[in-house]
Each structure stands twice: as C-alpha cells, then as structure tokens.
Amino acid sequence: MLNTQSPEPDRSADHSSDHCAEISPDRSASLVFTLSGGLMVLGLVGLFGAQQGWFQRHLQVSVLAPSSMGLVPGTPVRLSGLRIGVLDRMTLQPDGQVSLVLRLPERYRAWVSPNSTAKISVNSLISPNYVELTPAPMDPALVPTSFKVAFVKVPRLEDLLIGAESTRRQLDRLLRSSQHIAERELPTTLQGLNGTTASSTALAQAAERELAPTTAELRRALRTIDQAGRSASRTSDAAQRNLDQLSPEFQAALRAWSRLMARGTAALFGLQGWLEPAAPPETPLPQTRSPQTTSPQTTSPVTVPQIQPQPPSR
C-alpha cells in the first residue's frame, strides 16, 4: 500500500526562530544598559581626571626634605592657603633624606618659581600634613617645567614641647633663686635699710635743731650788712656832692700853688748863676794806648745841661 500521507513539516526550526525573536529585545536592553553604564563610568573618570588635571600640562617641583613627616602620595600642595597641586611621588635618597616631587598645573607658573620655598605644615593635631609653597612671582617664560625649590624646616610639636620644657626649667631655677633671695638676703637688706632710714631721720632732726639759731643769726647779719651798705651808699653820695662843691676852689688853689713854685724855682736858678764863677775852659786829656787793646779810645766831654728859668705864669 502506498503511503498517501504527506510528511509532516519540521517544527523545530520554526520554534527556534520564534524563541530568538522572543529574547532579542531583552538582549538589546541589556546591551544599552551596559553601554550607558560604560559611558557614565568614562564620563566620571574624565570628570575626575579633569579635576585632578590629568589632561593638562604640569610643572614638576622637586623638594629634598629630611623625612616624609607623615606625607603620602596625593597629599595636597597649597599656595597662600589655596590648593594648587598634589604630591606625586616620594623617593628615598642614599643619604636618608626624602625627595618629594610635586605636580602643579602649568597655570601656576607665574606664582611658583625656583625662588620659592617649601615647608610641611599641619592644620591641627588630627588633620593630615600638607606641603606649603611660598609665592615667588617671576616671568612665566623664564620658569622651567621641572625645577627644585629649597626646603624650610618648621618647628614641630615635639620641638615646641622640648623648648617649653627648657623654658620651664629656666623659670624654676629663677623662682628658686628669687625665693632664696627673699628668704635670706632680703631681710638683711631691709634691716640695713631701716637702720639707714633711722640714721637719716636723726641727722635731719639734728640739722634742723642746729640750723634754726644759725639761720636767725645769718638773717640778722644780712640785715646789718644791708644797713651798712645803705649807710655807705649815703656817705658816698654826700662825699661826691661835697667834692663837686669844692672842686672849683681846689683847682684854683692848685693853680696858685703852681705859679708860686715856678717863681721860686726861677729865683733859685737866678741866684745860682750869680753866685757861681765862670768855669775855666776844658783841657783835652792826652790819649793813652792800653797795652791790652790795639784800637784807640776817644773820650767825649761831658756837657752839663743848663736849666733856663721859666717866666712866672700869670
């Protein structure tokens, strides 16, 4: 017998195609979600990188510090209190010091230069340390991309405590010395001062007792001297007035006395010329040569001046 039944069609292929058509929308949603998440992550990374300055040129500033002082990569770098960069990396040097490499955006080239200095500062006891740069403005064209700056050591809390302890010890010694002076030397000094004060008071009282009568006598003597001076002044004035009155008569008497003396002198000279005989002529003496001298000596006659009588003045 012939099989007159037609073969049944294969339903498995159709079932597979229907199943694929059913799950395709879920896969597309998953793919879209994955792509969206990836784009979001990339956006966040880009935003974070932009904030951290990953996509811009930087300056590398090297600092050689004695130790890391609690710094870690990523520690903020501040300029005048503003955050301008981060600590990129740290390297231990053969001599035990630490080389710090700071990463700064290039836009701060005008404020940070090789003349700047770096120090490690602390906000508080619980906050982390940070690197502080001092501004040193310079022409940006002269500032290199990589340079070194000097490190300035800032006193740490331990150093301050050590200094405070040393100061406290000095104050203790000073207080003990002051207490020793107050207990032993000050009472003796006060006793001596009291004795000196008492002696000064007694001396002042004695001087006051002695000076009271002396002052009275001195005042009386001064009054007597004043009275004598006034009397002498009055006597001098009276003598001056008397002299002024007698002056014309005294001058006339002096002139008469002068005329009288002149007449007497003339009479005496006339009487002398009448009484004395005429003098003989003078005989020149022979010249003799001294054996001791070779030059001749001449003698001049002695001339007696004749006094002529003066006529009496009228």
Three-state secondary structure of 19-32: HHHHHHHHHHHHHH
Per-residue confidence at 125, pLDDT binned at 50, 70, 90? low
Residue 7 or 235, more confident: 235
pLDDT at 16: 47
Per-residue confidence at 173, pLDDT binned at 50, 70, 90? confident
Q: Is 309 exposed, middle or buried (0-12, 13-18, 19+ CB in 10 A)?
A: middle
- Which range has the worst mean pLDDT, 52-56, 69-73, 248-252, 295-299? 295-299
Closest by CA position to 77, among listed 107, 100, 110:
100
What is the residue-averaged pLDDT of the chain? 75
Total domains in the chain come to 1
Q: Is 96 a domain residue?
A: yes
Q: Is 88 a domain residue?
A: yes
pTM here?
0.39
Residue 36 or 51, more confident: 36
pLDDT at 21: 47
pLDDT exceeding 90 applies to what percent of the chain? Answer: 20
Per-residue confidence at 65, pLDDT binned at 50, 70, 90? very high
pLDDT at 267: 77
Structural domain containing residue 112: 56-154
Residue 113 or 42, more confident: 113
Taking only the tens place, the pLDDT of each residue in 231-244 is: 888 887 887 777 67
Mean pLDDT of 138-163: 83
Q: Is 85 a domain residue?
A: yes
Q: Which amino acid is at 33?
A: F
- DSSP assignment letter at 245: H
Per-residue exposure over 39-51, b if at least 16 CB sit within 10 Å of its own CB, e if not? eeeeeeeeeeeee
Residues 6+ apart with CB under 8 A from 73: 86, 87, 88, 89, 90
Phi and psi at 71, nearest 5°, equal -85, 150
pLDDT at 212: 76
Task: Give yes or no for residue 302 having a pLDDT over 50.
Answer: no
pLDDT at 241: 78
pLDDT at 153: 85
- Which range has the worst mean pLDDT, 109-118, 249-258, 288-297? 288-297
Mean pLDDT of 86-96: 93
Q: Is 284 a domain residue?
A: no
Angle at 51 between CA 49 and CA 55, to 5 degrees: 45
Q: Is 145 a domain residue?
A: yes
Distance of CA 126 to the CA centre of its chain: 42
Per-residue confidence at 208, pLDDT binned at 50, 70, 90? confident
Q: Is 313 a domain residue?
A: no
Taking only the tens place, the pLDDT of each residue in 243-279 is: 677 667 777 777 788 888 888 777 777 766 666 554 4
Q: Is 143 a domain residue?
A: yes
pLDDT at 5: 46
Mean pLDDT of 99-106: 93
Q: Is 3 a domain residue?
A: no
